[in-house]
A and B are shown apart, each in its own frame.
Chain A
Amino acid sequence: MKNTLIAVAIVALLIVGGARVYTAGPSEKGPIKIGFIGPLTGDAASFGVVAKAGVELAIEEINAAGGINDRRIEAVYEDGQCSPTEASSAASKLMNIDKVTAILGGTCSTETSSFAPAAMQNKTVVLSYCSSAPSLSNTGEYFFRNYPSDLLQGKFMAEYAYNTLGARDMYIIYHTTDWGTGLKDVFSKRFQELGGTVVGVEGSAQEERDYKTMLTKAKASDATFIYAPMYPDGSSVAMKQAKDLDLKARFIGGDTWDDPKFQAAVAMLGTFIYPKLESPAADDFTKKVQAKTGMEEVVFCAAHAYDATHILANALSEAGTDPDKLADSLRATKYNGLIGHVEFDEHGDMKGGSYVARKIENGKSEVLR
């Protein structure tokens, strides 16, 4: 009987103590903790790794300048693997165990959409530096992104295809994630508005590795162009299988094709065109990221992540860690950074932004004029 009482008392203490730890919010003293979610391994790792380096560089600068109101800023880095399940558990850990004030992330729209609703409920500010799916615009009042919604990218590609490439018929194969579906919808709407025809649409999971039948159908449709908003790994395999099938159509893709791994993989498979957000050159920053990561090409999310960290730090020093004040301060941001001028609209989306077309040939990417 006595042993049972002791056991019950210990369990009760643990529950009460645990609950106190679990429900307490971010601390008011000590360093400010922010979370980072991005793919450090897996499909879009090229983007996540440089983004992490961008955040690290920004944090070093901020702390060297005295921190935020005399508090150091610290980041906890979690691997989202461009997968909803991983990103969601990463976010849970950041919010409940590390008690971060805000989350910078994710890179992939699938990551962000998996944890952003929970973060809204938890009143944790989320600033995504790279997620572009249009569906994220309605996430909530604590959500911001310094990367434009794909309403812009899809429209740009449709107009580029119709006006510059002279495409009149288009086949679409895409990955059925938030990002891919968003682009597919925006692109086909704009392309058809301009007068083009979408002759067929085929979707597949991001992890699919056998595109032969989809590509066969595209071949049979005799479309001259194929729009393929897909992630790097799937795209590499699909392009190879397209070559095997002797598919003559030209491929245009999404911003994920900025990945050097993809560009190397399709080196001998033809010429590919994709859009990239225009941003002023920042050689100094690029060199620092190259030194940190050892990567030769620094793809776009690095500068955005760097800017996002500074934007967040500025808002924190002005408004403190209270979520509502922080969100209001972020909404009023006017910041000039590596990617240019940043302002957020009422949905938290970045205002402005413009794309340029680039072509991939022989393993390298260059701007198309």
Chain B
Amino acid sequence: MDIAVQITLNAIIAGALYALAALGFNLVYSTTRFFDLGYGAYAAVGAYMVFWLYKGLELSLVPSILLGIIAAGVIGFLIETVVYRPLRARKASLTVFLIASLGVLTVIQAVIAIVFSSQFQTLSRNIGEIQTYTLWGGVITQTQVLILAAGLLIMTVLGFTLRYTMFGKAVRAVADDSEVATIVGINSNRIIGIIFFVSSMIAGLAGIAVGFDTGIQPTMGLALLLKGVIAAIIGGLGNVYGGVLGAFLLAAIENAGAWQFAGEWKDAIAFAILILFLLYRPQGLWPK
């Protein structure tokens, strides 16, 4: 059945994007316990950096993407140092963090809109010649395959790092209790800084992926962030693998719903799932 295969492929592609969003978000949440809304902004930063380098300055593809990802990471790290660390030193409450992160998201979005205009843009330079592959009757483009591959690679590397390396153990210690971790000798602030750097890089990659797949707009971060948050909640907040599985599950249900009912229902379905989970299973499918 042709159409079922294509719908499945669509779901896998969307799932990969949501998984990247959920991955970074979970990373930050598990270590600092706060809902970083600014996460969406780093995705936009990554995408617009690539837009400027690849389409504006006409650099070649791979360096532009790498620089875009690093730029997103750097911005994330700076925000953490300049905004969140002082708040943490003052023992600010989680609500304060949430509002601060909302402020970060708004400011970054506004700056991007001023510098790049709020017009919708595409990242790809030559739209006509996209390599496509046919799989069991469904079609997938080269860009989408690359996104999928990048996503899976990051998930594996991250999982491996967190579980088996000293750094990973330090991260889990800070996630457990950052004060005790400091007492034991771990530099919590440095670990958190690195976590922000890594998760913002992942956000940047997600933004770049969305940019190549559809396009970019200054407000793109929020939509991506919301899907990532829903995926993370479904999978179990703070559980890195859970978020990934939650993302694919979300994409599957969304696309199945769009197939059976109408395309307009996609967002409604996504948020209905969120509400159901918050009501009946707030710890998610795979609680830590």
How near does chain A come to B162, taking the closest CB pair, in angstroms? 31
* A325 in the interface (beta carbon within 8 A): no
Among B13, B127, B132, B264, contact of A205 (Cβ-Cβ < 8 Å) = B264
**Inter-subunit contact A244/B139 (CB<8 Å):** yes
How near does chain B come to A128, taking the closest CB pair, in angstroms? 24
Stretch at the interface among B24-32, B57-65, B87-95, B254-262: B254-262
Q: B interface vs A, CB < 8 Å?
A: 2-3, 6-7, 10, 13-14, 117-120, 122, 126-130, 132, 134, 139, 141, 144, 214-215, 255, 258-259, 262-264, 266-267
**Inter-subunit contact A217/B3 (CB<8 Å):** yes
CA distance A205 to B262 in the complex (A): 12
CA distance A216 to B144 in the complex (A): 16
How near does chain B come to A124, taking the closest CB pair, in angstroms? 29
- Which residue of B3, B134, B262, B267 has the most chain A CB atoms within 10 A of its CB atom? B262
Among A42, A208, A268, contact of B127 (Cβ-Cβ < 8 Å) = A268
**Inter-subunit contact B264/A213 (CB<8 Å):** no
Among B6, B141, B263, contact of A219 (Cβ-Cβ < 8 Å) = B6
Contact status of A216 and B117, CB under 8 A, knowing A209-B215, A244-B139: no
**Inter-subunit contact A176/B264 (CB<8 Å):** yes
**Inter-subunit contact B127/A213 (CB<8 Å):** no
Q: A interface vs B, CB < 8 Å?
A: 41-43, 45, 173, 176, 202-205, 208-214, 216-217, 219-220, 233, 236-237, 240-241, 243-246, 265-269
Among B117, B139, B141, B214, contact of A210 (Cβ-Cβ < 8 Å) = B214
**Inter-subunit contact B258/A244 (CB<8 Å):** no
How near does chain A come to B260, taking the closest CB pair, in angstroms? 10
Contact status of A213 and B126, CB under 8 A, knowing A43-B120, A203-B263, A246-B132: no
Among B10, B14, B119, contact of A41 (Cβ-Cβ < 8 Å) = B119
How near does chain B come to A208, taking the closest CB pair, in angstroms? 7
How near does chain A come to B38, taking the closest CB pair, in angstroms? 22
CA distance A268 to B117 in the complex (A): 25
- Which residue of B119, B126, B214 has the most chain A CB atoms within 10 A of its CB atom? B214
A contact residues around B130 at 8 Å (CB): 243-244
How near does chain B come to A30, taking the closest CB pair, in angstroms? 35
CA distance A41 to B127 in the complex (A): 24
A contact residues around B267 at 8 Å (CB): 205
**Inter-subunit contact A42/B3 (CB<8 Å):** no
**Inter-subunit contact A233/B262 (CB<8 Å):** no
Q: Which residue of A lies closest to B11 (CB)?
A: A213
Contact status of A237 and B215, CB under 8 A, knowing A203-B264, A213-B259, A216-B6: yes
B contact residues around A240 at 8 Å (CB): 122, 127
CA distance A41 to B139 in the complex (A): 35
Q: Which residue of B lies closest to A200 (CB)?
A: B262
CA distance A241 to B263 in the complex (A): 15
**Inter-subunit contact A269/B263 (CB<8 Å):** no
**Inter-subunit contact A214/B127 (CB<8 Å):** no
How near does chain B come to A212, taking the closest CB pair, in angstroms? 5
Q: Which residue of B lies closest to A41 (CB)?
A: B118
Q: Which residue of B lies closest to A201 (CB)?
A: B262
**Inter-subunit contact A220/B128 (CB<8 Å):** no
A contact residues around B117 at 8 Å (CB): 41
Among B127, B144, B264, contact of A265 (Cβ-Cβ < 8 Å) = B127
A contact residues around B14 at 8 Å (CB): 210, 212
Among A173, A216, A236, A269, contact of B10 (Cβ-Cβ < 8 Å) = A216
Contact status of A204 and B3, CB under 8 A, knowing A41-B118, A213-B258, A265-B127: no
CA distance A203 to B262 in the complex (A): 7
A-B pairs, top 6 by smallest CB distance, nearest first, are A268-B128, A220-B3, A214-B263, A233-B120, A209-B214, A213-B258
B contact residues around A267 at 8 Å (CB): 127-128
CA distance A243 to B141 in the complex (A): 10
- Which residue of B14, B117, B129, B263 has the most chain A CB atoms within 10 A of its CB atom? B263
B contact residues around A233 at 8 Å (CB): 120, 215
Q: Which residue of A lies closest to B3 (CB)?
A: A220
CA distance A217 to B257 in the complex (A): 12
A contact residues around B132 at 8 Å (CB): 244, 246
B contact residues around A43 at 8 Å (CB): 120
Q: Which residue of A lies closest to B219 (CB)?
A: A207
A contact residues around B264 at 8 Å (CB): 176, 203-205
